[in-house]
Amino acid sequence: MEFRPFRPRASRERYSMMDHDLERMSREQLIAEVKTLRGGIRQHRDSSLHELCWHHPALWGLLPEKTDPVPVVPAWPQFMEGCVKYRQSLDDQAPEAPRSRGPYKK
């Protein structure tokens, strides 16, 4: 499957404006930036168990624009419905992944 970043049509121009800093970076700075971003993506990718469900401001903090977006939080019934659908999608997308019956740990 080919990765295609989500970009709402109305925001495409805004997103491209946010990346003008890349045009001023040297090759070495760009390589360092890519390594930093890859590290953040790998940390998120390597999440497991309940870590998969959390709000991830550290990942978003790797972006140059400094915002602190407040998410729209679904009401409990809709939230739990989404959690169930997410878990079902893991059965479809990763049917051979190990399963855990361990309790949730804070």
Which residue shows structure tokens 């109305």? 10
> Which of 26, 60, 54, 70 has its CA nearest to residue 40?
60
Is 60 exceeded by the pLDDT of residue 6?
Answer: no
pTM, to two decimals: 0.70
> Per-residue confidence at 94, pLDDT binned at 50, 70, 90?
very high
Task: Write the pLDDT tens digit of every residue in 20-52.
Answer: 899 999 999 999 999 999 999 999 999 888 888
Q: 68-89 pLDDT, tens per residue?
A: 778 889 999 999 999 999 999 9
Q: Where are the alpha helices (DSSP H) in the chain?
A: 12-18, 27-45, 57-60, 76-93
Q: Please determine, for residue 14, whether its predicted confidence score (pLDDT) is greater than 60.
A: yes
